[in-house]
Amino acid sequence: MADDPFTLFDAWYAEARESEINDSNAMALATADAAGRPSVRMVLLKGHGSDGFVFYTNREGRKAADLAANPHAALLFHWKSLRRQVRIEGAVTLATDAESDAYFASRSRDSQLGAWASDQSRPLDSRETFEARVDAAKAQFEGRDVPRPLHWGGYRVTPHVIEFWQDRAHRLHERRLFTRDGDGWREGLLFP
Ligand SMILES: Cc1cc2nc3c(=O)[nH]c(=O)nc-3n(C[C@H](O)[C@H](O)[C@H](O)COP(=O)(O)O)c2cc1C
């Protein structure tokens, strides 16, 4: 048995990348506002390691406001083809500027321009308004690299709990619950 959850996550994630038809890196991200009201949406996992799980987003939208008020989140992967889920809970910090810059630079130019045009903090009146904002960004950065907008960047969820759920025959599903314990992890099995 893997004795740390990151090794097990790597193994399951590698299998999911092979078997899912698309977006094996898609995960639900749950946040809560200052009053404890929850909200959830999908984001894409763009980096992970023993320091946590990283996604990128507009830092002016609802999830960003929630995380500013309450820097804790839960993540959920559901890999249907494997009949598995992974639940992650932890504290949230901003990814470093260097990390966000590097990831932004790796995106397509259209995505980069879209980040400048996006405004997740309030509804735009129409698709045309958004397209006009994309055109304005195109004109602004013509002939040069598109820099990362300051309102766009990464967040890292550093887990204190990770639970792996595996479908088993006859509904005897297996759950492996890893809980952070000092520098290491404590593991328990839960049924079903
Ligand atoms: C499969 C999938 C992946 C998504 N990935 C991201 C992502 O990585 N970053 C992001 O900001 N929004 C992503 N979205 C859009 C979000 O779900 C959400 O609509 C948007 O970020 C606004 O969320 P908020 O209002 O809670 O801030 C994704 C949506 C789907 C369906």
Instruction: Tell which atom from ligand 1 comes closest to the C-alpha of 42.
Output: 17
* pLDDT confidence band for 103 (50 / 70 / 90): very high
CA distance 22 to 44: 12
Q: Is 56 helix (H, G, I), strand (E, B) or coil?
A: strand
* DSSP code of residue 21: S
Among protein residues, the one whose CA lies closest to atom 6 of ligand 1: 43
CA distance 33 to 87: 20
Is any ligand 1 atom within 6 A of the Cβ of residue 68?
A: no
Pocket probe mutation, ligand 1, options 33, 41, 70, max atoms within 8 Å of Cβ: 41
Distance 27 CA to ligand 1 centre (A): 10
Q: What is the pLDDT of residue 118?
A: 84
Among protein residues, the one whose CA lies closest to atom 7 of ligand 1: 43
Q: What is the pLDDT of residue 1?
A: 53
Q: What is the pLDDT of residue 123?
A: 75
Is any ligand 1 atom within 6 A of the Cβ of residue 28?
A: no
Q: Which two tokens stand for residue 62?
A: 């609802």
Q: What is the pLDDT of residue 137?
A: 92
Q: What is the pLDDT of residue 2?
A: 58
Q: Is 192 helix (H, G, I), strand (E, B) or coil?
A: coil
Q: Residues 12-41: pLDDT tens digits?
A: 999 999 999 999 999 999 999 999 999 999
**How crowded is the C-beta side of 43, counted as CA atoms within 13 Å?**
24
Is any ligand 1 atom within 6 A of the Cβ of residue 44?
A: yes
Strand ranges (DSSP E) for 59-173? 72-79, 84-94, 152-166
Q: Which residues carry out catalysis?
A: 171
Distance 139 CA to ligand 1 centre (A): 26
Among protein residues, the one whose CA lies closest to atom 30 of ligand 1: 42
CA angle 75, 168, 170 (to 5 degrees): 130
Among protein residues, the one whose CA lies closest to atom 25 of ligand 1: 62
Closest C-alpha among 83, 89, 90, 91 to residue 175: 83
Residue at token pair 């790796």: 106
